[in-house]
Each structure stands twice: as structure tokens, then as C-alpha cells.
Amino acid sequence: MSAAFVSPACVRHRSSGFTLIELMVALTLGLVILAAALSVFATSSRSSQLSELETQLNEDGILALNLIQQQLKQAGYSQQLIPSNGATVMGNYAGPAVRGCDGGFTDAGVAFDKLSCVTGNGSDAIAIRYEANIDNTMPQLTASTLATNCLGNAINAATPTQVSPPPTPAPGTLPPGNYTLADNRYLVTVANTAPMLSCRGMEKGNAGNAVGTSQPLLANVESMQILYGVASLPSAELAATYDPMRHQIVNYLDASGVDLLPTTGVLADNTEDRWSRVLSVRVCLQMRSDRPVRDAPVGGLTYKQCDNIDATRTDGYLRKTYTTTVLLRNRLIAP
């Protein structure tokens, strides 16, 4: 039997593969798909990181505002006493509730009435005072009857003569007794290039109370700017009658503006006369992300400063401002 005849054309057809052009087209399509997939992955990864940084930034900002708000709501507090004339007055501390400085304190460790301000446009600082007890301050780890400062350190009760400036009781009121005075100073510091909100406060020492060292509270607080709502006259907290000159805010000023207010003659000390007119505090915190954004724009990232002016930084960090206004309720009465 003779062998079957196979056409050479059929042999060539069965053994043929992809041509060079087909391989090049397939390779190009594959590279395009791979590049698209990598682009989608990079965009998704960057968006995820950006969302994570923004979330953390918002949490830090809200936490920092809450901390400042909690302290300012207590500013000027002192327990009430009922003197013989029947009027309700502050029983112990009746000095200024707050004292601020534009650009920070020259020395945040001196006595309250000795605080002075640096010259410049840096971050502001504020000192907050109120009568402290175990109910309105942080509890200690061990059982204690002592109130604490902004860092949780104990404060001894002080006699009125140890308070600077010493309180002056109003006519017909009971003299102040021994009490615990919280005196906390909040400022922005930098440690290892990281900005943070720090505090130093009056605390128990070997010879009574003294202002302790500064300790960080919250990281990524880059700047603090403060305005103060002032009345026409120093406040008469919890007075028997409503006086709009003492209990209505007529203007918002920075700390330098408060220091330049004309004195009213109501209080002998000029600084106390001016700062006893503060009825509210408006705080703006500029927060920074805890790490730079990956693949940040070459031109930098734009943000709003506390003065509502646009600014651009090229270091890759996200920035955002958070603002709150706190009424010093211990210095007001309703009409």
C-alpha cells in the first residue's frame, strides 16, 4: 500500500507560530495594561494614605480643642460664699481668669502677675487660673485629697497671702480662706523638630507651690493664635445685679490689644484691671500631620492660616486650622 501524500503547504501551516509583529503588539498591550494597573494601585494607595492622614489630623485637632475648652470653661472659677448682705460672690480667688501673650511668655515659670511677653509673631501662650479641687482636676493614681495641675501633679492648698496677686475681698464679703489655685500655662514648643502643645503649672514643691517644668500634652500642634472678648469694665462675677458694662463683650482683641486697653480705675493694678475685662476666649490651633504626604505636589500644599490667609509649604505635611470660642461662664451673669 502506498503512503498517503501530505501537502507541503499543510505542513507549513501546522508548524507556524506568532510573527514578530504579533509578539510586539501583544507585549505592548500587556505593558499598557500593567502600567494602567500600577497607576490605579499607586493612586489608590496615595488616596488611602491621604485619607488616613486627614482622619488623624482631624482627630488631633478636635482633641486639642477639647483640652483647651475644658480648661477655659473652668477659668475664673471659685466656690461661692454667702456673706452677711445676702449677695452671692466668689469666695476665694477673684483675680484675672486668664493672661495671654502674643508670641509667647518671656518666662513661663514666673508668678502670674509677673508674666511678660516676647516680641514677635510666633505662637501665642495663655495662663489659666481657677480654684482647683479633686472634682474639677485630673485624679491621681494613688488616693489623694489634693487637686492637680494640667500635668496631673498635685497642688498644695495655699493661704491668700501666698497667692500672687493676693485676692482682695469685696466690702461686706467673707475673707478668703485657704484654697488650692490651679495656674496652668499653655504654649507651643518644639522637640526633635516635632511641634506640640505643652503645659506647665503650679504644683507641690519643697516650699509650698511653684510653677513646674514644661511637659508635652499633644503632638502636631504647630501654632496657637488667641483673641480675647472684652467688656467695658472689669467683671463683677456673680454680682447681685446685671451690668452691661461688665457683662457684654464689646470687642475681640489679641493679647497686645488687651494690654493697651485704657484702664478704668476700678482695680488698682492696671494689668488686673485690663485682664479682668476678658469674658471669652477665641482659640485657633494650626495642626500638622504626623508624617509627610507621599508624592506631595512639587509646588507644595496650600492651607488656611489662623488669620484666614492662604499659605503654601513644600515640606509635604498636611496642615489645617481648628477654631473655637469659649465663654468664661464664671465671669458672666445673665441679664
> Which has the closest alpha carbon to 117: 257, 294, 8, 10?
257
Q: pLDDT tens, 271-300?
A: 989 999 999 999 999 999 988 887 778 888
b (16+ CB within 10 A) / e for 168-183: ebeeebeebeebbbbb
Give the confidence band of 87 by pLDDT, cuts at 50, 70, 90: very low
- Phi and psi, residue 210, nearest 5°: -150, 155
Q: Label residue 235 by pLDDT band (50, 70, 90).
A: confident
Given a cut of 60, is residue 32 above it in pLDDT? Answer: yes
Asked whether the predicted pLDDT for residue 12 surpasses 80, the reply is no
Helix (H) or strand (E) run with residue 181 in it: strand 181-191
Say how many residues make up the chain. Answer: 335
Q: Which of 91, 179, 198 is nearest to 137 (CA)?
A: 179
For 319, phi then psi, to 5°, come to -140, 145
236 pLDDT higher than 60:
yes
Instruction: Name the pLDDT band for 31 (thresholds 50, 70, 90).
Output: confident
